[in-house]
Structure 1
Amino acid sequence: MSFFPGEDPAIGDKKAVDLIETLIIPRTSDVGGLEVRRALPTAKRRLVGPFIFFDRMGPAILRAGDALDVQPHPHIGLSTVTYLFDGHIKHRDSLGTEMVISPGDVNLMTAGRGIVHSERSPEELRGPPLSISGVQTWLALPEHLEDMKPDFAHTTKADLPEMRDKDFSGRLIMGGLHGLKSPVHQYSDTLYADIRIEAGGRFHIPAVAEERAIYILDGSVNIAGDVFGSNQLLAFREGDDIIVNAAPGANGGSAHIMLFGGASLNSKRYIWWNFVSSSKERIEQAKEEWRTGKFDIVPGDEEEFVPLPE
């Protein structure tokens, strides 16, 4: 996805929960014909661990004849992580990768010194109405890897560790949690999980990562007596054990959350459009390279591109 600068998401009315450091209400925007809720970055909170960008895509039904069409655009200094709950997206990039991502799979595209990619509805699925729902995040790379060689990796749903208990079920996307370890490669300490808490159930988030947050996809959760509804991001204080309880209400009392975070990068990151770097000069260089056609093209998707924003 592309990051189009605009108004920051709103910071919600924080209740008296000492465990919660930041509460963010995302803003809604349109990207490639799809409604997304953008929770990171904000003026109040730029990163949670290496996560510098958090987009909730959908859930939506694209009308008959419509499709997702994010034209070729560039990235530097980050990894994109695409994870779907419903629908399919065809990824193409300047490495020559062509991959359709299905629900539960993980696409990890590492831009490093520079990559170009497009995200579109697969040709064979176009015509009828299309459902789409998922999350796309960006991970800022450590400084010494910001100009690494670009890379792409795909991990299928079947290869992700499952978490299952009477109170919850889910998949570990990145990192380690509750004795499980994901096979998805990390460039810094990263934690990422998809968790569904049953009605009346709870999920324990141990202090396994320096920075941790949840995004509430559906339902409501109760944390230390305060209730938070869907489409809110809650960032927690370092070092505290967190118990997330499914709260009565929507979804029959169950809740669906994304848990994410990791080690602090301990250095500032700048973000402009689709470029992330510890150096403002490197971002200016990337802008000029895209403006003058210095980035590689996407094989099979050479006719269109997203122009550099004014």
Structure 2
Amino acid sequence: MHDIVIEARKAAIAPGMSVRRILPFRLRRMVGPFIFMDHAGPVDLQPELVHNMDVLPHPHIGLSTVSYLFGGQVTHRDSLGVEQVIRPGEVNWMTAGSGIAHSERFEDPATLAGGELEMIQTWVALPEKDEESVPAFTNYKPEQLPVFTDTGVWMRLIAGNAYGLQSNVHTHSPMFYLHVVLEPGARFGLPREHAERGIYVAKGSIEIAGSTYTVGQMLVFNKGASPVIRAKEHTTLMLLGGEPLGERYIWWNFVSSRKDRIEQAKADWKEGRILLPPSDNLEYVPLPEDKSKPAGGPAPQALS
């Protein structure tokens, strides 16, 4: 019924922080326009170690980063001069386009020490016509995002369209992205209007066609499949997908439809042509010393 099951892998993104990495996966690099997905936390860290978790300024091209929190808070700063604290239920949508740098700082030790911080980070690849668009950033509040409830089901549409709902979050290609909470025994189905669809189990467990899937697994379905999802316990899912964009190359934090564009981005970062955030410009992540080609290079290291 499903195309593939992806098992999350452990990835270190900073000295004090490891995440579950779901995308990219060697057998399935993208689901619709989504080319990257990390699940961080819950984090329980002593206050004196908080600074180790900070993700220093780093660059992006050719994509939009999407930050979504279950708990805690994170401070975002970028080349545009934006400084934004993101809290649970909000969406930070940053379109890198032709090039941007940003940092993510964990400046509330109480949420880390209390094990509250938990977040999902995704990257959405841009259509070729938008890969060199002007960088932009928007924070969306929970009340700006559609919510639907039914017996045993709660869901928030983060972006795109699904189940007759439409999000006001600005996107560049047909897609959907949902936060779904199911009570034990609740049944749920995937939106049918999209070509590629994925279910990520963030908490709890589900049953589909007699098989059980648990935390850290993503199931990917192509168009036509109509699985019935049954929650075996209180469960949180992230559903995502959309229309495929075609081949994309990924190297470190750069995404592009052209290999030569990634080589240019590497040179731009190394030579300082991508500006640092004006309020966070005293340190940054250097370009990895790696001779690998795009699509086979070092795994993405940034949180978003």
Shared fold (TM-score, shorter chain, > 0.5) = yes
Deviation of 1:30 after TM superposition, in Å, equals 1.9
The residue aligned with 2:30 is 47
User: Does the aligned pair in 2 maintain the 1:69–1:121 contact within 8 Å?
Assistant: yes
Which of 146, 149, 162 is the aligned partner of 1:177?
162
Which of 236, 243, 253 is the aligned partner of 1:256?
236
CA deviations over 1:23-50 (Å, ceiling 9, x no partner): 0111112223222111110110010000
Deviation of 1:167 after TM superposition, in Å, equals 2.1
2:28 is aligned with 1:29: no
User: Does the aligned pair in 2 maintain the 1:35–1:60 contact within 8 Å?
Assistant: no
What letter corresponds to residue 113 of structure 2 in structure 1?
A: P
Alpha-carbon separation, structure 2, partners of 1:292 and 1:300: 20
What letter corresponds to residue 277 of structure 2 in structure 1?
A: V
Deviation of 1:237 after TM superposition, in Å, equals 2.4
User: Does the aligned pair in 2 maintain the 1:66–1:129 contact within 8 Å?
Assistant: no
Alpha-carbon separation, structure 1, partners of 2:44 and 2:170: 32
Root mean square deviation, CA, Å: 1.2
CA deviations over 1:141-167 (Å, ceiling 9, x no partner): 001110110000110112111121112
The residue aligned with 1:58 is 41
Alpha-carbon separation, structure 2, partners of 1:277 and 1:117: 19
Alpha-carbon separation, structure 2, partners of 1:190 and 1:290: 30
The residue aligned with 1:38 is 21
Alpha-carbon separation, structure 1, partners of 2:41 and 2:197: 23
2:118 is aligned with 1:138: no
Alpha-carbon separation, structure 1, partners of 2:165 and 2:178: 11
The residue aligned with 1:158 is 143
What letter corresponds to residue 4 of structure 2 in structure 1?
A: T
Alignment of 1:208-223 (within 5 A): 208-223=193-208
2:232 is aligned with 1:240: no
What letter corresponds to residue 30 of structure 2 in structure 1?
A: L
Give identity over the alignment, percent.
Answer: 47
Alpha-carbon separation, structure 1, partners of 2:276 and 2:47: 30
Aligned length: 284
| Deviating 4+ runs (over 4 angstroms) | none
Deviation of 1:220 after TM superposition, in Å, equals 1.0
Alpha-carbon separation, structure 2, partners of 1:206 and 1:103: 24
Deviation of 1:240 after TM superposition, in Å, equals 1.9
TM-score with structure 1 setting the length: 0.89
Which of 262, 265, 275 is the aligned partner of 1:286?
265
Deviation of 1:185 after TM superposition, in Å, equals 0.8
Alignment of 1:291-302 (within 5 A): 291-302=270-281
Which of 100, 103, 119 is the aligned partner of 2:85?
100
User: Does the aligned pair in 1 maintain the 2:2–2:225 contact within 8 Å?
Assistant: no
- Look up the SS of the partner of 2:44 in the other structure: strand
- Look up the SS of the partner of 1:62 in the other structure: coil
- Look up the SS of the partner of 1:257 in the other structure: strand
User: Does the aligned pair in 1 maintain the 2:56–2:104 contact within 8 Å?
Assistant: yes
| Comparing 20-29 and 64-73, the one that deviates more | 64-73
